[in-house]
Amino acid sequence: MTEVVLSALVVVHNEEAQLADCLELLNFADELVVVLDKCTDGSKVIAEEFNARLVEGAWEIEGHRRNAGLESCRGAWILEVDADERASPDLGREICSAIKGLNDGYFLLPFDNYIGNRLVQYGWGGSWGVSAAPRLSAKSV
């Protein structure tokens, strides 16, 4: 069995409209883990098409479903991505390079905020929204 260095974790609730686009860009990860929280749409079928490890259930608290996903990841490093987010190929290469040889730690990943297709640069999202978050961490952290 090949060593799993990087797991990509996506937690979803009825995200069939965007899940395939998200998972397709995570092809740099050694493993995809998709948490299906009370899904009633085609999210499960889409995740299966990408050979994702599936965790199915119903959680009332967001932290509990996230923790279920984190526990299911086999990788030494875990990248957390929302279904409406896209990891560019450049980001994938940078992540793989950054974690090479590291045993622990975490990285803040910057991201842009959009309303629809419009990038929010000023006001909410630009000034007050989150512009980076700890989305890449060693499983040991």
| 0.85 surpassed by pTM | yes
Nearest residue to 139 via CA among 8, 2, 20: 8
Look up residue 81 and give its two tokens: 């991505």
Do you know the residue count of the chain?
141
CA dist., res. 120 & res. 114, Å (int)? 5
Count the domains in the chain: 1
CA angle, residues 14, 17, 19, in degrees to nearest 5: 75
- Let me know if residue 65 belongs to a domain: yes
Q: Give SS3 for 66.
A: helix
The dihedral built from the CA positions of residue 77, 83, 89 and 94, taken in this order, carries a sign that is: negative
Residue 125 confidence class, pLDDT cut points 50, 70, 90 = low
Q: Residues 44, 52, 109, 88: is their CA dihedral positive or negative?
A: negative
Q: Is the pLDDT of residue 133 over 90?
A: no
- Identify whether 63 is part of a domain: yes
* pLDDT beyond 70 at 123: no
Domain assignment present for residue 40? The answer is: yes
Asked, for residue 131, whether it belongs to a domain, the answer is no
Average pLDDT of span 1-28: 93
Q: Which domain holds residue 82?
A: 6-103
Per cent of the chain over pLDDT 90 is 74
Please give the Cα distance from 32 to 73 (Å, whole number): 8
> And the tokens for 25?
């860009």
CATH of the domain at 95: 3.90.550.10
Q: Is residue 113 included in any domain, yes or no?
A: no
Using one digit for the tens of pLDDT, what is the confidence trace for 56-86? Answer: 999 999 999 999 999 999 999 999 999 999 9
The answer to the question of residue 112 being in a domain is: no
